[in-house]
Structure 1
Amino acid sequence: MLRKTLNASRLQQEVARRIHRLNEVVEDGVKIQVPRPHLQEADATGCNRNKRHFGNAIGFERSIEGVLKAVRAEYNLSSEAHEEVDPFGD
């Protein structure tokens, strides 16, 4: 399956959205801090990014891993460098 690509911010937002829709997270009313993904060499599955150190995630590790597994199968991190856009056109 071919993965879609997202930049780091969009990928971070997608993971956060999915985590905060999990029943156990909603029921407990917790806010889990989702780290920005970091580009790495593609692993055996073809995934090219890594995330570590989720904040406020104690007790939710298994659920978070399930979300990460699904997102790894769907998305890769864009390898393009972030370009600064000058709003004044200089």
Structure 2
Amino acid sequence: MIRKTLNASRLQQEVDRRIHRLQEIIEDGVKIRVPRPQLQEPDKTGCNWKMTNFGNAIGFERDIERVLVAVRAEYNLSTEVKDTGNPFGD
């Protein structure tokens, strides 16, 4: 399967959305802090990012890991750097 690419903010939002729609998370009313993805060399599956240090996640590690496995199988982190140009025009 070919992965879609997302920038760091969109990837972070997607992981956050999936975590916070899990029944266990909803029932406990917990808000888990989702870190920004970190670029890495592609692993054996071809995924080029990882996430570590989730906040307020004690007791939900397995749930988070399931979400990460699914999202890492679907998406890669975009490595394109946008040229914002010189704001001073020189």
Question: Superposition pairs for residues 66-81 of structure 1, below 5 Å?
Answer: 66-81=66-81
Residue 21 of structure 1: how far off its partner (Å): 0.2
Identify the residue that residue 46 of structure 2 maps to in structure 1. 46
Displacement over 6 Å in runs of 4+: none
* Cα distance in 1 between the residues matched to 2:18 and 2:83: 28
Scaled by the length of structure 2, what TM-score is found? 0.91
Q: Identity rate of aligned residues, in percent?
A: 70
* Cα distance in 2 between the residues matched to 1:83 and 1:55: 33
Residues matched between the structures, number? 89
Q: Structure 1 regions of 5+ residues with no counterpart?
A: none
Scaled by the length of structure 1, what TM-score is found? 0.91
Residue 84 of structure 1: how far off its partner (Å): 3.9
RMSD over aligned Cα, in angstroms? 1.8
* Cα distance in 1 between the residues matched to 2:32 and 2:53: 10
Identify the residue that residue 28 of structure 1 maps to in structure 2. 28
Q: Structure 2 regions of 5+ residues with no counterpart?
A: none
* Cα distance in 1 between the residues matched to 2:16 and 2:85: 26
